[in-house]
Structure 1
Amino acid sequence: MNPTQTLYSPGGSSPASQAAHPSSLFPEINKCRTMRDLSQIHAVFVKSGQMRDTLAAAEILRFCATSDLLHRDLDYAHKVFNQMPQRNCFSWNTIIRGFSESDEHRAVIAIALFCEMMSDEFVEPNRFTFPSVLKACAKTGKIEEGKQIHGLALKLGLSGDEFVMSNLVRMYVMCGLMKDACVLFYKNIIERDMVMMDRRKRDGEVVLWNVMIDGYMRLGDCKAARMLFDQMRQRSVVSWNTMISGYSQNGFFKDAVEVFCEMKNGDFRPNYVTLVSVLPAISRLGSLELGEWLHFYVENSRIEIDDVLGSALIDMYSKCGVIEKAIQVFERLPRENVITWSAMINGFAIHGQASEAIDCFCEMRRAGVRPSDVAYISLLTACSHAGLVEEGRKYFSQMVNVDGLDPRIEHYGCMVDLLGRSGLLEEAEEFILNMPVKPDDVVWKALLGACRMHGNVEMGKRVANILMDMVPNDSGAYVALSNMYASQGNWSEVSEMRLRMKEMDIRKDPGCSWIDVDGVLHEFLVEDDSHPRAEEINSMLVEISEKMRVAGYRPITTQVLLNLEEEDKENALHYHSEKIAVAFGLISTSPGKPIRIVKNLRICEDCHSSIKLISKVYKRKITVRDRKRFHHFQDGSCSCMDYW
């Protein structure tokens, strides 16, 4: 190997060309916008003999190997590389980088190219080579090769290079070797003096911290990630984005939103990645005010609303209960990508607007956009929420026989839910038993929920036992079966279920509702009196109860799973989390203002009946998003038409 090999080898070019940046020497290449343009220039270079110039060949290679993903052509690049009369370190780095940034299959080629480079006695890898090949090792999980490359980097004296080290740490993280990543991280970072570093080294250190935070988030260790984040001496936008996306992907939506608010109120401006990372969290929490602020920020900052960001905005407005604004976003977007269509169809579905969902699906087909499996999940969900059995059957068949899509477990779950809700329990069970794939617990839970809804205790027992064997520590089957027993007044069986849960230390998910008032999220549990305004809330609950009785309210006490006196059952219903949230909304917002609530579980029959009356008595529009769908209450009615 020749350690003095330079990044660019002139290869016969003039002295003037050695001083200029290579790209400036070939303006015709800079003007290329597509591979077709480049291939024409390449043909001219070959014919004129310019391809014998190392710089010219390197620039041709650079364009087809490292242009943006839409315009690069790695097969073409590989041919150019193989035909180069002289390959220098820059050429090797370019081709390795191109393949390392591609998919997993092509990333393997990057590793093979690196091995080939090592056999070239005239070229030695440098600090620009290692980040690319290490990225390829991380992407493909080739940890043994990665360890050998790690050893070579140390041998070549690159242990102090921040970007080589950050890619080494990333490789160990991506391959699941967090302990090895930690050793490297603490060895290279913790003892350094940030003040004495130049800008490049400081930036490199921040990258290392970000990689470690991302690693902990990938493992689901959000506490460790947060601890590192809090210890950072310097942060970047990527640091904030990593925390936000990590929290969101791990289901800590409130934490994701809190970090986002901390970021936007500080010295960092959210960028595109920030927005697409935090929008799912905002959607799950139903934080409409924050979502509207974010949308305004996007437009005010002139950030392009592409398919991904646009779909996230549609999803946010849909899940925050404002389907009209979701439609407005959708209508401004190009109609070429199935992602945006699917987001809009799903929005209609969760709002119970089945006809609109079907119309949107048909319009998508007329626009020449081929439906995806996700679009069909949304469409079948819409049919299920509206009880459109025949339509659901038709679209399930169309998905398979017309669009040639293999049904996923989610599609089967939608069909079971559709049949079960409609009371076709035997057909739903037969559908499950004839599935070509093994049904998961979600599919069986859909049938169990239908058994509870229609009071089929015998089938419910059978399905519950299957679920108890399949997911023994999940409370769902026990609670559903207890519900069915309680509705029959079979308290001995209810006690038996509760005893089994206690013995197995299985806990029911507590009902939780939250409401966003003036940008602040307020959470309430069942019988929750921990809120600072608990006394006012309780007074409002008493007032609500009195006014509802005058309006004809009759408690549905079969929803209470305890063997209590009727009066005690009524009191238990009085303090369900969604009722507490409604009471808080009434005392915290001006008269006539809509109230929007999110609940983690399915809304119970009594709360549904109660909130219908509350909307009429207090002349409020009340929106409740439960685990399955939206309920829009107004003037004593619900948008679900009591079918949910």
Structure 2
Amino acid sequence: MCKIGLPQQALRKPLTWVCLNMYVPVLQSAATRREVAKGKCIHAHIIKMGYEPNIFVDNNLANMYSKCGFLKDARQVFDRMSKRSVVSWNGIIAGYIRYSQYDEAMELFYQMLQRGLQPSEFTFGSLLKGVAAAALKEGGKHLHALVVTFGFEFDLFVQGALIDMYAKCKSVEYARQVFDKMPERDIVSWNAMVAGNVQNESITEALRLFCEMKQAFTLPNQFTFAIILKACADSLFLELGKVVHANVITSQLDLDVPLWNALIDMYVNCGKIDDAFRVFNRMPERDLVSWNAILAGYVQNGYDKKALDLFRQMQMAELKFDEFTIATVFRICDNLVCIEQGMQVHALVIKTGFQANLYVGTTLIDMLVTCRRMDYAIKVFSEIPKRDLILWGVLIAAYAHQGDGDKALELFYQMQQLGLKPDEFIFCSVLKACANLAILEQGKQIHVHILHSGFESNAIVGISLIDMYAKVGNIKDACIAFREMPREDVTSWNAMISGLTQHGHGRQALELFREMQDAGIKPDHVTFVGILNACSHLGLVDEGCYYFDHMNQAHGIIPRVEHYACMVDLLSRAGLLEEAECFVKLMPFKPSPAVWRTLLAACRIHGNMELGERVSESLFAMDIKDSATYVLLSNLYAAEGRWNDAAKVRKMMSDREVSKEAGVSWIEIKSKVHVFCVGH
């Protein structure tokens, strides 16, 4: 009766019919189903009946408690046993290993040896499994020595456990030594060796072993194919993945769900989402992993709307979601900037009890930040009980990037009060906040934190420091930060060149560019934006034209819209307005409003009314609601004394309900930033 899953019916038999060993199948059923209440009921019956101690029953009692997670009860049963066999010791050791209590397991193992018992292959199998899970390489070596001492060096089961242990301890070379010494190898041994290489990113070796295995006439099973497909997915080996897929079909194996999922994952990683979906459609049976894989595949390959449709299918099928499903859907809403759908999913999160889940909370806040719902993001943040550094970082970065530097700094100090240590990404965000607010003293305090935290040599942090000091006008400290950091990356040079240019040190920027070339650093498109700006501010028209041509001819960098904008600014500042207009018209792509505005501003400076009116018409055609165009045109008329025309532009602006952006100012008093707005 227990074998068909009805332990309670077995218990209904009169106890007089049941000898002691008849309890064993019921205990085994309770252990399999993790039904500790039923197991305790059996235990109570045994005690009540007053049976003599029975090692077979006691072993099963301890095993039942162990598998149900009641290790304390399992240990009590074990300690009270009058006789213990190797099976008894193996069972309790395996229980401790199962729940990651490796030290207790080893202590029992040594007690077992002290009592003169000979360990079996299953003893070492359990202990090696524990070592592998904890990645304790030295402990594994010690066990390996004991394996040899007790004569299990060539036991197939133990050798497989040794291979797995060394692989998980990132010592594939030791695993290979064990593998090479094996007198015979079964499919488990081959799989362990192949999987170990895949786990340690030795993909080529894993594929070579797969070929060796076939040459040794060992037929791969579902697990083998799943491992190789993972290797193909990780390395983006699409063609090889297709060959493995063909081998799966010709092998005539009954494909299990994990193997189907591995096929989907391989096609998704290789960017073949249609092939992945075809595999998905052919699956006779799917689990949540299958749905999650295809859902994430759509998102990964840019098919967010299809992913949303698939999620709706999942809802209609009344599938039970996990945190991965919910987080993926929040990423979809983030990509589509779809706040309404995101809020619906949030309602589902609350309904299903995932609101306190850190992974789900982080993706939800990411989505709310993208949709500019910071009020709701901070509410969700406050409702998550355990917040990690990533979650704090997401919110701090959001405030910094959206111009709320004071709130970013406030959160940063809250985080520190809780004893959390910032990482390099959080430091970059708060430095950006200081740069945007132009608050030097706060920036210096953050710099001190960076030095104490050991991030002074971090390239990303160094670039942010240069940017912060440059934007607050402290070029001297920006130069010091630049000279003290590793300068192997073009980004640090770009930050320094840009900072020098912005603060009128154009010649120093050009000198730094030459130094950069002498150091063998290859410039990129950002470098030339800084160089062209430097030429513009210095009025070096010929040099600017040279660098504009040089970037493509010498470095293969095709000019972008920002480079053309720099050239228009260069020509406009030099009073070459007609040439600047011609340059705009010859651009290989549609000029941006910023390019036209640059020219319009120059028309006011140089008093070119006719060109200014033409440019303003182009700007109005692009965006009739852009307040900057109205202001520049009005100022142009005012500069020429055409006050009536200036008033007409202002009236036109009012009639079209166009308003200027509010002016913002701030002041730092006693390390606190006070923000003031005008113009609402």
TM-score where L is the length of structure 1: 0.66
Match 1:294 to one of 422, 432, 446: 446
Task: Report sequence identity in percent.
Answer: 30
Matched, 1:55 2:218: no
* Structure 1, 49-58 or 365-374: larger mean CA deviation: 49-58
- 1:140 shift after superposition: 1.4
Q: Which residue of 2 aligns with 1:329?
A: 481
- 1:421 shift after superposition: 1.0
Matched, 1:274 2:426: yes
Match 1:390 to one of 542, 559, 568: 542
Q: Which residue of 2 aligns with 1:192?
A: 353
* Structure 1, 82-91 or 516-525: larger mean CA deviation: 82-91
Q: Which residue of 2 aligns with 1:239?
A: 391
Change (3 A) 1:512 1:457: farther
Change (3 A) 1:82 1:471: farther
Matched, 1:14 2:151: no
- 1:312 shift after superposition: 1.3
* Structure 1, 142-151 or 331-340: larger mean CA deviation: 142-151
Q: Structure 2: how far apart are the matches of 1:252 and 1:424?
A: 39
Matched, 1:24 2:166: yes
Letter in 2 for 1:439: P
Does 1 or 2 have the higher relative contact order (CA < 8 Å, sep 6+)?
1
Q: Which residue of 1 aligns with 2:63?
A: none
Matched, 1:379 2:540: no
- 1:375 shift after superposition: 0.6
Post-superposition Cα deviations, 1:194-236, rounded to whole Å, max 9, x if no partner, equal 8xxxxxxx6xx12111111101212233333233223334422
Contact 1:444–1:467 (CA under 8 A) maintained in structure 2: yes
Superposition pairs for residues 577-616 of structure 1, below 5 Å?
Answer: none
Change (3 A) 1:363 1:28: same
Matched, 1:139 2:291: no
Post-superposition Cα deviations, 1:34-71, rounded to whole Å, max 9, x if no partner, equal xxxx9x9999899x989961011011112227xxxxxx
Letter in 1 for 2:462: G
Contact 1:104–1:140 (CA under 8 A) maintained in structure 2: no
SS in 2 for 1:108: coil
Letter in 2 for 1:189: I
Q: Which residue of 2 aligns with 1:628?
A: none
Contact 1:96–1:114 (CA under 8 A) maintained in structure 2: no
Post-superposition Cα deviations, 1:265-317, rounded to whole Å, max 9, x if no partner, equal 44433222212233322211112222212221121011363322211111111
SS in 2 for 1:515: strand
Superposition pairs for residues 597-636 of structure 1, below 5 Å?
Answer: none
Q: Which residue of 1 aligns with 2:616?
A: 464
Matched, 1:480 2:643: no
Change (3 A) 1:325 1:13: farther
Superposition pairs for residues 498-517 of structure 1, below 5 Å?
Answer: 498-517=650-669
Cα RMSD after superposing both structures: 4.4
Post-superposition Cα deviations, 1:427-453, rounded to whole Å, max 9, x if no partner, equal 111111122221111001111111112
Q: Which residue of 2 aligns with 1:448?
A: 600
Q: Structure 1: how far apart are the matches of 2:433 and 2:397?
A: 9
Matched, 1:255 2:416: no
Q: Which residue of 2 aligns with 1:108?
A: 271
Change (3 A) 1:499 1:152: closer
Contact 2:234–2:269 (CA under 8 A) maintained in structure 1: no
Q: Which residue of 1 aligns with 2:370?
A: 218
Q: Structure 2: how far apart are the matches of 1:83 and 1:145?
A: 41
Q: Structure 1: how far apart are the matches of 2:636 and 2:316?
A: 69
Matched, 1:420 2:572: yes
Q: Which residue of 2 aligns with 1:354?
A: 506
Q: Structure 2: how far apart are the matches of 1:192 and 1:147?
A: 21
- 1:502 shift after superposition: 0.6
Change (3 A) 1:419 1:240: same
Q: Structure 2: how far apart are the matches of 1:207 and 1:322?
A: 40
Contact 2:271–2:301 (CA under 8 A) maintained in structure 1: yes
Q: Structure 1: how far apart are the matches of 2:429 and 2:195?
A: 37
Letter in 2 for 1:426: E
* Structure 1, 167-176 or 282-291: larger mean CA deviation: 167-176
Change (3 A) 1:271 1:104: farther
Contact 1:473–1:506 (CA under 8 A) maintained in structure 2: yes
Q: Structure 1: how far apart are the matches of 2:318 and 2:160?
A: 28
Letter in 2 for 1:54: N
SS in 2 for 1:506: coil
Q: Structure 1: how far apart are the matches of 2:618 and 2:585?
A: 12
SS in 2 for 1:512: strand
Q: Structure 1: how far apart are the matches of 2:377 and 2:660?
A: 29
Contact 2:172–2:197 (CA under 8 A) maintained in structure 1: no
- 1:146 shift after superposition: 4.3
Change (3 A) 1:305 1:126: farther
Q: Which residue of 1 aligns with 2:134?
A: none
Q: Structure 2: how far apart are the matches of 1:104 and 1:312?
A: 39
Post-superposition Cα deviations, 1:578-627, rounded to whole Å, max 9, x if no partner, equal xxxxxxxxxxxxxxxxxxxxxxxxxxxxxxxxxxxxxxxxxxxxxxxxxx
Q: Which residue of 2 aligns with 1:162?
A: 323
Match 1:316 to one of 468, 484, 488: 468
Contact 2:660–2:679 (CA under 8 A) maintained in structure 1: no
Contact 1:135–1:171 (CA under 8 A) maintained in structure 2: no
- 1:343 shift after superposition: 0.6
* Structure 1, 87-96 or 132-141: larger mean CA deviation: 87-96
Letter in 2 for 1:255: K
Change (3 A) 1:458 1:337: same
Contact 1:291–1:316 (CA under 8 A) maintained in structure 2: yes
Letter in 2 for 1:390: D
SS in 2 for 1:447: helix
Q: Structure 1: how far apart are the matches of 2:234 and 2:350?
A: 26
Q: Structure 2: how far apart are the matches of 1:80 and 1:441?
A: 59
Q: Which residue of 2 aligns with 1:582?
A: none
Q: Which residue of 1 aligns with 2:252?
A: none
SS in 1 for 2:200: helix
Contact 1:134–1:171 (CA under 8 A) maintained in structure 2: no
Q: Structure 1: how far apart are the matches of 2:657 and 2:319?
A: 53
Match 1:367 to one of 505, 519, 522: 519
Matched, 1:307 2:468: no
Contact 2:198–2:231 (CA under 8 A) maintained in structure 1: yes
Q: Which residue of 2 aligns with 1:495?
A: 647
Change (3 A) 1:188 1:511: closer
Match 1:341 to one of 488, 493, 507: 493
Q: Structure 1: how far apart are the matches of 2:266 and 2:582?
A: 41
Change (3 A) 1:136 1:227: same
Give the unaligned 5+ runs of structure 2: 1-31, 33-124, 130-153, 214-219, 237-261
- 1:172 shift after superposition: 5.0
Change (3 A) 1:18 1:175: farther
Change (3 A) 1:343 1:371: same
Give the unaligned 5+ runs of structure 1: 33-37, 66-72, 195-201, 529-644
- For these two proteins, the number of residue pairs brought into alignment is 495
Post-superposition Cα deviations, 1:440-487, rounded to whole Å, max 9, x if no partner, equal 110011111111122222222221222122121111121112112222
Change (3 A) 1:447 1:80: farther
Q: Which residue of 1 aligns with 2:18?
A: none
